Every structure is written in C-alpha cells, then in structure tokens.
Chains A and B, each alone.
Chain A
Amino acid sequence: MLDNLSLFFQYPSLAADVIVNGLLIGAIFALAAYGMALVWGVLNIVNVVQGELVVLGGYVTFLAVQAGLPPLLGFPLSAAVMFCVGWFIYRAIIFRVVDKDIFISILATFGLSILFQQLANAVFGSDVRTVDAGLGSLHLFDGTVTLSYVKLLAFLLALGAGLTLWLFLRHARLGQAIRATAQNPRAARILGIDTNRVYAMTYALNGALCGAAGSLAVMAWTIHPYIGLPYTVRSFMVVVVAGVGNVAGVVAAGLGLGALENVAGFVFGVEFQIAFVFGLMVVILVWRNAMAARKRSYLE
C-alpha cells in the first residue's frame, strides 16, 4: 500500500491519470444515479433493480453490435429499448407498490433484480461480454496519461444526458408534471395531472438512463449477468449524498465517487475497490443520520 502511495509521488502524472480516469468513470455512475434519484423522488421507491437495468442496457448494445450495427448506435438504441422495458416493468409490477410501505417496494425491486440476473444468465449465458467501440485512446504527456476515447465519450454523453434531463424537468410539460407529482401527488391529481401516467413515464425514463449507462459500461469495460449490484450500490450512494431533487449534485457526487474509488483502488489495491465503495456507503449513511438527528433536535 505504501509502495503504491510512494509511486504517486515519484510519478505525478500517474496521479493525474488515476484521477482523470476516475472522473470519467464517475460520469457513468452519475447517469445511473440520475435515474435512481428520479424514481426515488417521484415514486418514493428505492429501485434496487437499478444495476440490473444497467446490465440489460449493456446487453442491448452487445446484441446490436453482434447484429452488425455500429457500437455508437447502441447508445440511443439501449436507451430506447430500456425505456420500453422500464415502462413495461412499471405497468406489470411497480404500480402495485407505489403507495405502499417502502419495505414492500424494496422487496419487490430486490426480487426483480434476482429475476433479471437469472434471466440474463439463462438467455445470454454467464460469459463476460464487452464491445469494442474501435475508437482507440488519447495519449497525453508522452504516454503517461492515457484516456480511452470511449470513456471520454461516455463522459460527454453522460453530461449531455444530465443537461437534457435538467432542461426537460424544467421546461417540458411532462417534466413539469413530474416535478409537480414529486412535490405533492394529491394536489397534482386535483389539478388534472394523470399521476399514473407520470409515474410510468418516470420509471420508463429511469430505464432509458440505465440503458444509456449500460451501453457506455459495456464499451468501457465488461458486463456479465451478476455485475449489477455494484451499480445499484453506487447509484444509491450518489443519491444519498446528493439528495433526490438535485441534478447538479448528482453529477458532482457521481464524478467524486468515481475519482475517489479509482484512487482507493490504486492505493489499497484493486481487490479492495468495491470494499471501499461499500465501506464508504456505511460512513455516508452514518454521517447522514447524524446530520438528520442534529436537524431534528434543532427543530425541537
């Protein structure tokens, strides 16, 4: 561990490489986290199946490339297909648990996540899949800092998607309806908003965001049926840190998590990277709880 730390000081460019790559990765986490924040804020559901939706999005791009389509077309395609999948999941299952206790929705989405893992394993096999976007890498500073164009593209697309989402929520009729429903579903219904449709659209939109994230993930790394959970946990953490109604906060938290995680992976060793993520989540939850308690005692 100390060896790794001392490498940072011997080769400053290394630190730059690790941090920049972490930021780029963070953009993909942020994308999946927007979706979770939306569903959490509007439907009041912690969507445990988030990671599996990401993985399914990755498979859509993988299949598209297998069928001979260019990899970059996989991005909109994954988003579109997963939009429909999200809508379908809402109509089939989620609408039954919207107004129920939060534990019921956690159980339902947890069950869905197991179902999707096993389905993916049965349909696509347990093999590790990846898609080569064929873009190559960018080399800076005499090759000491390497950025693959895929990650760079992922970063830009994720930011673009975030911006679009923000504009959509702010200005589009449906976006406004979504925000209204999030604020007060009963009042929204009285004012003539079809909240059921808003819920379905929100969940479908979440599917699209996950699909987009999955498409980037399969181009930047690899996917397999059981890799969903780390994405769920990361999304959850990002939302816990940033809060549900804060798109800019989600971006910042996502990027920060990516950078932190990458540095931790480098310093402590890759074997502890996911352990670090889970550990960090515990720390954040304890901290959030302490802050909430302080606020409560202040109000009393």
Chain B
Amino acid sequence: MRHMFFSLLVGAALVLGGAAEAEDMGTIRLGAAVSLTGKYSSNGAFTRNGYDLAVKRINEEGGVTVRGKPYKLEIVYYDDESTPARGAQLVERLIQQDGVQYLLGPYSSGLTEAIAPVTEKYGVPMVEANGAAVSLFRKNYRYLFAVLSTTDQYLRGAVDLAAKVHDDPSKVRVAMAFENDPFSQDVREGVMEDTAKHGMKVVIDDKLPPELNDMSATLTKARVLKPDLLLLSGHDKGAALAVRQVADQRLNLPMMALTHCDSAQIAEKFGAAAEYTLCAAQWAPTLKYSDELFGSAADYAALYEETYGHPAPYQAAESSAAVQVFADAFERAGSLDPKAVRDALSATDMMTFYGPIKFDETGKNVSKPTVLFQVQGGSYVVVYPQEFAEADFIWPTPAWSDR
C-alpha cells in the first residue's frame, strides 16, 4: 500500500512537472498480478519488465490519446506468488479495492485460467501475453485476449520440418515426452494431430512428472528404439535436463525439438552439448516485424538489453505487445468505458515488433506464427518458418562420435 501511495505520488509529481507541455494529462491505470516470487519468479520478472518497458516508451511518446485528451499509462502490480488461488484473490482486489478497470495477464496458463473467471465476472477486459493453453479459448470468454500463439502450435513446425527432410514421412519414428501439465499436454495435442496427418509412427509417448529430475528412463528407451525425432516439453527444467542427459548418455538423435530452451539458456549453459537442438519460440529478435513505438524486433531487443542488462526473452516481448494492444484499443475506442474498450480490443488488427495481432472470436491471436530456432555455433538461429529463416536447418544431427 505504501509503495502504491509512493508511486502515485511520483506519478502526480510527474504529471505536475509535465504540465507545462501537456496540460491536464490524465492517467489510465492498468492492473497486473504477476509472479515475482515462487516457482515462476524468473519468467514473472520478464513479464513485468516487458510491461514496464512498453509503458515507459508509450509515456515517453506522449501517452495515449483518447478523444483528443492525452493519458499516461500506469500499472498497479501485485505478486501472485506463483499460486493460482492467490492470483484470483489479487485480481478481485485490483478490481474491487483499487478500482482498476483494465487488466494485464499473469505469467503461465495456469494462473491465467484462475484469473479469467474473475475478470469475466466483473466485465474487465484482460489482455494477456503468457497464457497459451488451448483450453483457455474454449470457454467462450468475452473479455480475454491473448497476443501469443496458442500452445498447440509450438512444436508443429518440428513435425513439418521432419516431414520435409525425410523422403517418406510415414517412415518417421517419433518419440515424445511431455510434462503432465496443461501447457505441455496442449503442445502434445498439436503434434499428435500433425504426426497422425503424416502417418508417422509414435514409438515413445511418455508423460513427465512436474517434479521431474531425471529422464533417463525415456532416453534409455530411445536408445534401443532409435527414433528419428524426439519432441519434448517440460518448461525450463525439462529443456535443461534433456540437453544435459542426451549429451551424458551420448544418445544419437537425428533431430530433437524442445520448448523453453531459450529461457533455460541451453546454448549459454551447455555449449557444445546444445548444438543442433531445435527450440520452439513465440518470437525472436531476428524476425522482420516492426512498429512505430519500438522500431524493429531487433531494436526492441537492443532497448531491452540496454534497460535490463540481459537479452530479451520472448516472454518479455509478448508482454510489451500486450500493453501496445491496450494503448491501441483505448485510442480506437475513443472512450475509457470497459465495454467500449473490450469491443475495440476484439476489433484489433495491428502490426507490432512482436508480430501481427488480430483476435478471433475466442480472443486468441490467429495471425502470428511460432518460430523454430536451431542452436548453431552457440547461438539461436531461426530455421523455420521458411520466410523468416536466417540459416538452413542442419539435419541430421551428427553422431556424438563425429562431433
């Protein structure tokens, strides 16, 4: 509370100070409960950084203009401690006690699922950037909008690539290991659909526990069954373990595709062991998207790194984009009424440094593709989809004995 009071005070001082140039500048308050402690604390911090960076840039550029009147953006934060119940509680508090009428999303699908019923109940529009579970968009929520691609898209590209490099896709043998949580199971659903379409044979289909600490059982099976492609998703720890243990066991896999390997920093932490790994991502600084606020994707990445001292993860980029979507909707709505803002949000059709954003009737962004990196020479290089590829996909991964 004291902190909030202080920031209001500072906000007021800023408004007074800037009064000479912008007379009577109003403030639009957005609310967000993000994970600053608990198991999502690192990705929660990225989320917050992304929000803050966009707010800072928008305010520097004169804020948001609604019906000719300029407004500054401001975010009221709470820490949801990475627990869904706490998240829902805090959102209730943001809306009821703090009078916030527009919400930015938390980190992770699980927390978004906990919060969405609350925002829906009060008719408060929420733009979220870090909840991609397919199930979120099957509940006919009207006030939920997501700037990122849904989870089932993550590894479909890898299946597509495998189909392209093999002469006969139906001969491809696929091994899958997915954590038993909503996120990874959605990823699995997407690839199951595509492997079936190509007639590929699934030889391993393991579920990994949330307290995963060892995946040698799956890898041991892979050694005798010799799959052509390993698909794996288990957040940061899954990515780190997979890279680590495949190298330890010197398991030869012609192709391995993971989620979360950029946030797990596999190239930085594991060096040569991570080479040739494919990584699914929502966004990359090398993509050729741009907008007026941040410039190109590369400009955003440079600004982010300058501000926060570490490379820009996609979790931060999508969070910044969520704020941009709100700013755009305020201006088009010409009103601060939540209903009008909600309608403007649903009509969003804009280009950002993060990619094109356009929502379907369920609120998910349908116009942005996901990308695949491959670790080549210690850095993440986009190899898929074709139109954004910076380098050719190297296949097959050389055997350990030839490295």
CB within 8 Å of B: which residues of A? 4, 7, 10-11, 14, 17-18, 21, 25, 118, 121-122, 125-128, 130, 132, 137, 139, 143-144, 146, 148, 150, 221-222, 224-227, 229-230, 262, 265-266, 269-275
Contacts and interface: CB of A to CB of B under 8 A. Distances in A.
A222 B240 contact: yes
A267 B221 CA distance: 11
Interface residues on B, range: 35 or more
B178 to A, nearest CB: 10
Contacts of A121: 37-39, 41
Given A222-B213, A270-B217, 5 more contacts: A18-B217, A130-B244, A146-B248, A226-B39, A271-B180
Interface stretch (B117-125, B143-151, B202-210): B202-210
A270 B206 contact: yes
A270 B208 contact: yes
Interface of B: 37-42, 82, 177, 180, 206-209, 211-218, 220-221, 223-225, 236-237, 240-241, 244, 248-250, 264, 269-270, 273
A273 B180 CA distance: 13
Nearest to B207: A271
Given A222-B237, A222-B241, A271-B207, A125 B42 contact: yes
B213 A230 contact: yes
B244 A222 contact: yes
A121 B244 CA distance: 22
B209 A270 contact: yes
A126 B107 CA distance: 14
B214 A221 contact: yes
A271 B208 contact: yes
Given A227-B213, A270-B215, A271-B207, A126 B40 contact: yes
A224 B213 CA distance: 10
B71 to A, nearest CB: 35
A269 B37 contact: no
Nearest to A265: B217
Nearest to B239: A128
B187 to A, nearest CB: 16
Nearest to A122: B37
A143 B250 contact: yes
A21 B217 CA distance: 10
A230 B223 contact: no
A132 B223 contact: no
Contacts of B211: 226-227, 229-230, 274
B224 A144 contact: yes
B212 A270 contact: yes
B240 A128 contact: yes
A133 to B, nearest CB: 10
